[in-house]
A and B are shown apart, each in its own frame.
Chain A
Amino acid sequence: MLAEQIRNSLEKLELEKVAAGDYGRTGYHVEVAAKPEQITAIAQVMLEQQCFLESLTALDLIESFEVVYHFACFRELCRTVVHVPLIKGKTAPTLSSVYPAADWFEREVFDLFGIVFAGHPNLKRLILPEDADFHPLLKDFVASS
């Protein structure tokens, strides 16, 4: 079972939380919570387990941010979610050296939330114009609806 292998490998990293997920309710097989500095090591484990980076996004929880990583696998049904709480104003390490897919995902998160990924080779706006001075997915950004 891949989910078990992933849990066993991740448990060695001494993360905040590594637990089995309730697939029928959430769509996750493994749920992980970690500190920002641990995400690179997690990504390396996921790559060793032949998982791909499905999605990378963030949540604005008003007091703080949370960066959310989803991993899945081509061979076997197993989705891993990694929640990384991030204090506003702090940076998260980039995954682009492990997963090139993260390059664009991180640029998108930087664009829409203003989260800086330390070590990113080309961190500039991806979707909005270069001269935009706002981050639209922040909760205090008011959109005219």
Chain B
Amino acid sequence: MLEPGIEEKTFYLNLGPQHPSTHGVLRILLEMDGEFIANSEPVIGYGHRAHEKMAELRTYQQYLPNMGRVDYLHALAYNHGYCLAVERLAGIEVPERAEFIRVITSELNRIASHLLWFGAYLLDLGAFTPFLYCFDDRENVVDILDRVTGSRLTYCYFRFGGVRDDIDDEFIAGCRAFITRLRSRWQDYDDLVTKNVIFINRTRDVGIITPEQALKYGVTGPCLRGSGIPYDIRRSEPYSVYPLFDFEIPIGERGDIMDRYVVRLREMEQSLRIIEQALDKLPNGPIMAEKVPKRLKPAEGEVYAAVESGRGEFGTYIVSKGDTKPYRIKLRVPSFSNLSIISELIKDTLVADMVAILGSLDLVIPEVDR
């Protein structure tokens, strides 16, 4: 495929690696037939930082900061996934209060991630105003998380057996104020975007992912739920204290861009519900397990643990040979599988639709490259 000069009526168009709609350094080689895409091939790897090789050179603790840098938009889910895998491997029990704090901060981070997607995606489609609205809202989350984690983006807050710092009354008050604020915003978002006829026409019945395609490509997250499959790790493979909370799994019907958009918007409301319940039920107690060894040396064996990140299933596969360093860590990142379907989705569509479809997958390219 894509050897120059084979089909004379087609020509090649390079999208990226420096294209604003790819949100990272992604290149897609497009073989164009007029305005339609005849064939395409994504070229990835520009942001490869060898995270998996780094894992083999560092101790378990030393690898923690890497987790905030794979998917920087939902860093706390990655903190959670890695800690979950190591805790399973080493048999560490996490106190309940720590698990509650993990859920609260992780859901706040999910909202921040979805809000950023919302703004940036509409910017792709040419709507500038929603971007300002949701960055205004997102700033609140970032401030709340900054107070407890100490950073605004690449969080490294979870530890094996708990979390680094306890939350205080100001954090809780901040969360409650944010919940009220964001709930009052849904109407604005609906009026501004969801009911906007231009937006509807650009997204309805475009970029449809069928459940069969999702199964064969391993698509997960809102992209899968938009196609009507209620697969959410928080529900289907419960971890942490998620089973204690009452929340819905929003799904779409047609699997088009509009459905994925609606799923993400409704997921933010469900995250607010989880945070609200967690704040109400927050138990007292320690935030770190006792007797977590400073030099962790898990017994020989392997483990696979999955969590739901903003983009889908994040899995950590760790193989231990009884050393202080992991023998191998494989990071199963959702954007990788979600991007691999793109050639099929954009075949025979217009370039303008391709931008809309690519953005709707909510890709974080450094996560694809690792």
A binds B: yes
B217 x A101 contact (CB < 8 A): yes
A101 x B218 contact (CB < 8 A): yes
Q: How far is it, in angstroms, between the C-alpha of A81 and the C-alpha of B304 when the chains are bound? A: 9
CB distance from A76 to the nearest CB of B (A): 8
Considering only residues 199-251 of chain B, those with a C-beta below 8 Å from chain A are 214-218, 224, 229, 231, 236-237
What residues on A are CB-neighbors of B337 within 8 Å? 101, 104
Name the residue of chain B whose CB is nearest to the CB of A50.
B215
Judge if A89 is at the interface, Cβ distance under 8 Å: no
Question: How many residues of A are in contact with the other chain, CB < 8 A?
Answer: 39
The stretch from A7-15, A34-42, A125-133 touching chain B is: A125-133
Considering only residues 67-81 of chain A, those with a C-beta below 8 Å from chain B are 68, 70, 72, 74, 76-77, 79, 81
Q: How far is it, in angstroms, between the C-alpha of A125 and the C-alpha of B302 when the chains are bound? A: 28
B328 x A59 contact (CB < 8 A): yes
B48 x A79 contact (CB < 8 A): no
A100 x B215 contact (CB < 8 A): no
A70 x B332 contact (CB < 8 A): yes
Q: How far is it, in angstroms, between the C-alpha of A71 and the C-alpha of B302 when the chains are bound? A: 16
What residues on A are CB-neighbors of B162 within 8 Å? none
Q: Can you spell out 27 A-B residue pairs with CB atoms less than 8 angstroms apart?
A: A25-B303, A26-B88, A27-B303, A27-B304, A47-B215, A47-B216, A52-B214, A52-B216, A52-B218, A54-B218, A54-B315, A55-B304, A57-B330, A70-B304, A70-B315, A70-B317, A74-B229, A74-B236, A77-B236, A100-B344, A101-B337, A125-B45, A126-B45, A129-B45, A136-B50, A136-B53, A137-B328
What residues on B are CB-neighbors of A136 within 8 Å? 50, 53
Name the residue of chain B whose CB is nearest to the CB of A127.
B45
What residues on B are CB-neighbors of A81 within 8 Å? 304
Judge if B31 is at the interface, Cβ distance under 8 Å: no
Considering only residues 301-349 of chain B, those with a C-beta below 8 Å from chain A are 301-306, 313, 315, 317, 319, 327-328, 330, 332, 336-337, 340-341, 344
CB distance from B235 to the nearest CB of A (A): 10
What residues on B are CB-neighbors of A99 within 8 Å? 216-218
What residues on A are CB-neighbors of B218 within 8 Å? 52-54, 99, 101
Q: Taking A57-B330, A122-B1, A136-B53 as contacts, is the C-beta distance between A26 and B304 under 8 angstroms?
A: yes
Specify the main secondary structure of chain B where it touches its partner: mixed
Considering only residues 264-314 of chain B, those with a C-beta below 8 Å from chain A are 301-306, 313
Q: How far is it, in angstroms, between the C-alpha of A94 and the C-alpha of B370 when the chains are bound? A: 23
Q: How far is it, in angstroms, between the C-alpha of A112 and the C-alpha of B54 when the chains are bound? A: 13
Judge if B44 is at the interface, Cβ distance under 8 Å: yes
What residues on A are CB-neighbors of B303 within 8 Å? 25-27
Judge if B259 is at the interface, Cβ distance under 8 Å: no
Judge if A5 is at the interface, Cβ distance under 8 Å: no
- Which of A104, A122, A137 contacts B336 (CB under 8 A)? A104
What residues on B are CB-neighbors of A74 within 8 Å? 215, 224, 229, 231, 236
Judge if B71 is at the interface, Cβ distance under 8 Å: no
What residues on A are CB-neighbors of B362 within 8 Å? none
- Residue with the highest number of chain A CB atoms closer than 10 Å, among B214, B217, B304: B304
Q: Taking A74-B224, A77-B236 as contacts, is the C-beta distance between A127 and B48 under 8 angstroms?
A: yes
Q: How far is it, in angstroms, between the C-alpha of A126 and the C-alpha of B304 when the chains are bound? A: 24
What residues on B are CB-neighbors of A77 within 8 Å? 236-237
Judge if B57 is at the interface, Cβ distance under 8 Å: yes
A126 x B44 contact (CB < 8 A): yes
B52 x A100 contact (CB < 8 A): no
Q: How far is it, in angstroms, between the C-alpha of A145 and the C-alpha of B330 when the chains are bound? A: 19
What residues on B are CB-neighbors of A68 within 8 Å? 317, 330
What residues on A are CB-neighbors of B231 within 8 Å? 74
What residues on A are CB-neighbors of B341 within 8 Å? 100
Judge if B96 is at the interface, Cβ distance under 8 Å: no
A54 x B215 contact (CB < 8 A): no
B330 x A55 contact (CB < 8 A): yes
Q: Taking A50-B215, A101-B217, A128-B45 as contacts, is the C-beta distance between A57 and B317 under 8 angstroms?
A: yes
What residues on B are CB-neighbors of A26 within 8 Å? 88, 301-304
Q: Taking A101-B340, A122-B1, A127-B44 as contacts, is the C-beta distance between A52 and B369 under 8 angstroms?
A: no
